[in-house]
Amino acid sequence: MDFLRPASWEEALAAKAEHPTAVPIAGGTDVMVEINFDHRRPEYLLDLNRVGDLYEWEVGEDSVRLGASVPYTTIMERLRAELPGLALASHTVASPQIRNRGGVGGNLGTASPAGDAHPALLAAGAEVEVESVRGSRRIPIDAFYTGVKRNALAADELIKWVHIDRADGPQQFSKVGTRNAMVIAVCAFGLALHPSTRTVRTGIGSAAPTPVRAKAAEEFLNAALEEGGFWDNGKIITPSVAKRFAELCSGACNPIDDVRGTASYRRHAVGVMARRTLTWTWESYRGTAARSEGVA
């Protein structure tokens, strides 16, 4: 095994071009487990800890440019207002020790359906900026996950930034596990209200071969909210609408039975989380809407 230690982003890209089989390592919270257990013996480890760009973030007018290695701890502490869904999801990642090391780039690189960041990224709307010596490109989050632990990266590409839309409304994240800390999701659900476009977006984790959106559920809910004038009148969501939304979210799952839970439990739990997160975010939206009406 060779340990490659690029001191800059350019050097990292050159190293990845020269050794396409090199395994990038940043927080190490996935890669080191595989090495410790002898599940993986990469020819090259490509250490990204010295690439400072990857630890930076920038809050723009419409979106946040998040470095691939920005630790979950930082996202929780510094980006809660801009990225509430991702901050909530970050807080459910493993333990403080792991959150101090791991970042969104690792979740995306590993592309496990159980990665905690995915539902939040899907719901908020995000693009993954990847780069190689050939140039850079932005991959929409919906096209990023291509299979179980597979993503749209080419062999010579590295993840640099994740561009995440700044929250324009309430966001929620919910995760099912046996305890609060150190839990791999049995299943997870992210939901974001986007009042500026009058749409709702979702993200489902650990209940299909890849993280997925519940698109039919989103379309149904968008139409129901529009039809009932909910965005303007701020009324509570009709129980039958919430119920149908939950059913459609369950229907978007394609889960398996495994040690953490059965497929039917996952489908059921996703429905429950969908209804709850919709209620929580909508109540929060109504609260803000009512306040601004009062002021006017």
Residues near other proteins (CB under 8 A): 1-3, 5, 25, 27-29, 31-33, 35-37, 41-42, 45, 47, 49, 94-98, 100-101, 180-182
DSSP 8-state assignment for residue 27: S
Q: Quote the strand ranges of the chain, DSSP E.
A: 2-4, 23-25, 44-47, 57-59, 63-67, 126-132, 135-140, 145-147, 150-151, 158-165, 171-176, 187-194, 199-205
**Nearest residue (CB) to other proteins, 37 versus 240:** 37
Least separation in angstroms between residue 112's CB and other proteins is 14
Min CB(69)–other proteins separation in Å = 12
Beta bridge partners of 4: 46
Burial (0-12, 13-18, 19+ Cβ within 10 Å), 223 = exposed
Nearer to other proteins, 5 or 137 (CB): 5
- Give me the least distance between CB of 183 and other proteins, in Å please: 10
User: Of 97 and 197, which CB lies nearer to other proteins in the complex structure?
Assistant: 97
What's the closest the beta carbon of residue 229 comes to other proteins, in angstroms? 41
> What tokens were used for 244?
């149908």
Give the separation between CA 153 and CA 139, rounded to whole angstroms.
9
Instruction: Decide the pairing of beta strands 187-194 and 158-165.
Output: unpaired
**Residue 154 or 182: which CB sits closer to other proteins?**
182
Q: Are 129 and 58 in contact (CB under 8 A)?
A: no
Compare residues 27 and 170 and give the one whose CB is closer to other proteins: 27
Three-state secondary-structure class, residue 63: strand
Residue among 48 and 242 whose Cβ is closer to other proteins: 48
Paired residues of 129 in beta bridges: 138, 161
CB of 28: closest distance to other proteins in angstroms? 5
**CB 98, min distance to other proteins, A:** 5
> How far apart are the C-alpha atoms of 263 and 254, rounded to whole Å?
8
- CB nearer to other proteins: pick between 75 and 224: 75
User: How near is the Cβ of 169 to other proteins at its closest, in Å?
Assistant: 28
